[in-house]
Amino acid sequence: MAVKVAVNGYGTIGKRVADAISLQKDMEVVGVTKTKPDFDAKMAIKKGYRLYAAIPDRVKVFESAGLEVEGTIEDLLKEVDIVVDCSPNKIGAENKKLYEKLGVKAIFQGGEKKDVAEVSFNAIANYEEAVGKQFVRVVSCNTTGLTRLIYTIKKNFPIKKVRATMIRRVVDPKEDKKGLVNGIQPNPIKLPSHHGPDVQSILPDVNIITAAFKVPTTIMHVHSVAIEMEKDISEEDIKSAFAEEPRIMLFNSEDGFTSTAKIIEFARDLRLRYDLYENAVWEDSIGVVDGEVYVTQAINQESIVIPENIDAIRAMLELMDKEESIKETNRTLKIGVLD
Ligand SMILES: NC(=O)C1=CN([C@@H]2O[C@H](COP(=O)(O)OP(=O)(O)OC[C@H]3O[C@@H](n4cnc5c(N)ncnc54)[C@H](OP(=O)(O)O)[C@@H]3O)[C@@H](O)[C@H]2O)C=CC1
Ligand SMILES: O=C(OP(=O)(O)O)[C@H](O)COP(=O)(O)O
């Protein structure tokens, strides 16, 4: 029988998590929540999701807008085995009180602090640590991208230290409030950015320092990563390690992939909503100089954490072991598949 899942917060991440759950045989979406009766709420209903009010007081706002909600988040939580909290940054920690009160397992996203959960999660790096847990945090998009890349090298070749710079998209494509339109913002100004410590919340023995800068683009983040290795390694070793990991996709500038714009154009042809769940690594950026590996990758922030949420559900509810879950998630989301 399929396990029952609530998605609390049907926004950028929540709608993708809901659609990904709908593709799995062993889980089903019981309902999704919104605070506003906007086009996203209407689309959720149109797609067949049962809609609930994320904040009880808002039921009347939905009713005044002529939108029928099935109840409140509390009603929804009583029907499910697990909730995937996809509410805005820091709201998940508030929502946790309700999950604790009702004894519901919960997955939080990377906008929450590490201590919101017992485990910070990345499927390929530490699936086993989430098995049977009550509260798990799927780390942020950049941290997910960095952790996958570092783990894929580290599992075969010992590394000494990592230094990474992240060029961060300023907001998601749907945003239309004022923002950074013509500047580069060190974010944060004082190092390190949260990504290094967040990678260490999954891979505690990795020596890593990260810096991040926001730029006026919306479609992807870009990482420039330098990894000092313990032993000699070749470009071919790195390329083969990446080629073997389905959650990393290699792109080559000779094929015309000269920028994130081109990678996203490719993803538009490949996937629903151009969701690119894989790290987009420029194959021809991979270089080894004086025992140090250099590599550049791009991350589609809206979609990279979606497979991790599906695997986290399976780990926490002990539905499958690591290998089986990752294989099934990759199959259903067509990860690592080019047609
Ligand atoms: N967007 C991204 O690039 C990524 C985001 N994340 C993380 O995922 C989380 C969600 O981000 P994102 O999807 O971008 O955010 P969005 O703003 O796109 O969506 C948030 C959703 O939460 C709903 N919501 C608002 N208040 C509450 C509440 N009190 N309880 C439950 N739901 C509520 C909103 O509903 P309504 O619109 O009706 O108010 C909306 O549907 C954050 O932690 C973020 O850091 C992680 C990786 C990438
Ligand atoms: O998880 C993300 O970025 P992050 O890994 O830099 O924290 C998402 O792009 C959300 O970032 P935002 O908080 O700038 O919207």
141 is catalytic: yes
The complex's ipTM works out to 0.98
Q: Which CATH superfamily is domain 3-139+305-332 in?
A: NAD(P)-binding Rossmann-like Domain (3.40.50.720)
Q: Before 192, cis peptide (omega within 30)?
A: yes
> Out of 18, 141, 146, 280, which one is annotated catalytic?
141
Asked whether the CA dihedral 47, 51, 55, 59 is positive or negative, the reply is positive
Query: Ligand 2 in contact with 142 (CB < 6 A)?
Result: yes
Residue owning tokens 């690592």: 336
φ/ψ region of 33 (left if φ > 0, alpha if ψ in -120 to 50, else beta) reads beta
Ligand that comes closest to the CA of residue 87: 1
For the CA of 40, the nearest ligand: 1
Which CATH architecture describes the domain 141-299? 2-Layer Sandwich (3.30)
Residue 168 near ligand 2, beta carbon < 6 Å: yes
Q: State the distance from the centre of ligand 1 to the C-alpha of 253, rounded, in angstroms.
A: 34
CA distances from 328 to 24, 83, 312 (A): 8, 20, 13
Does the Cβ of 141 fall within 6 Å of ligand 2?
A: yes
Q: Whose CA is nearest to atom 39 of ligand 1?
A: 35
Q: State the pLDDT at residue 338.
A: 81
The string over 191-209, giving b where at least 16 C-beta atoms fall within 10 Å of a residue's C-beta and e elsewhere, is ebbbbbebbbbbbeebebe
Probe target for ligand 1 pocket from 7, 10, 12, with the most ligand atoms within 8 Å of CB: 12
Residue nearest to atom 7 of ligand 2 (CA): 140
Q: Which residues line ligand 1 (CB under 6 A)?
A: 8-14, 33-36, 54-55, 86-89, 91, 95, 109-112, 140-141, 172, 301-302, 305
Distance of CA 129 from the midpoint of ligand 1 (Å)? 25
Is there a contact between 286 and 294 (Cβ–Cβ < 8 Å)? yes
Rg (CA), the chain: 20
140 lines ligand 2 (CB under 6 A): yes
pLDDT at 3 (0 to 100): 98
Using an 8 Å Cβ cutoff, are 250 and 239 in contact?
Answer: yes
The total of other beta-carbon atoms located within 10 Å of residue 32's CB is: 29
Rounded to the nearest whole angstrom, what is the distance from the C-alpha of residue 141 to the centroid of ligand 2?
6
Residue 302 CA: nearest ligand 1 atom is 3
Residue list, annotated binding site for NAD(+): 12-13, 111, 169, 301
Question: Is residue 310 a contact partner of residue 327, using CB atoms and an 8 Å limit?
Answer: no
Q: Specify the domain boundaries for CATH 3.30.360.10 within the chain.
A: 141-299
The pLDDT, as a whole number, for residue 272 is 84
**CATH 3.40.50.720 domain position(s) in the chain:** 3-139+305-332
Say how far apart CA 52 and CA 41 lie, in whole Å: 10
* Model pLDDT, residue 339: 65
Residue type, 18: A
Q: Any residues with CB less than 8 A from the CB of 140 and at least 6 apart, and which? A: 109, 110, 111, 194, 195, 198, 305
- Do the Cβ atoms of 106 and 82 come closer than 8 Å? yes
Q: Which ligand is nearest to the CA of 164?
A: 2
CB-based contacts of 291: which residues, under 8 Å, 6+ apart?
Answer: 228, 229, 232, 233
Q: Going by CA atoms, what residue is nearest to atom 5 of ligand 2?
A: 142
Q: Which of 169, 272, 173, 291 is nearest to 228 (CA)?
A: 291
Rounded to two decimals, the pTM is: 0.98
* Atom from ligand 2 closest to the CA of residue 301: 9
Q: Which pLDDT tens digits describe the chain residue by residue (339 residues)? A: 899 999 999 999 999 999 999 999 999 999 999 999 999 999 999 999 999 999 999 999 999 999 999 999 999 999 999 999 999 999 999 999 999 999 999 999 999 999 999 999 999 999 999 999 999 999 999 999 999 999 999 999 999 999 999 999 999 999 999 889 999 999 999 999 999 999 999 999 999 999 999 999 999 999 999 999 999 999 999 999 999 999 999 999 999 999 999 999 999 999 989 999 999 999 999 999 999 999 999 999 999 999 999 999 999 999 999 999 999 999 999 999 886
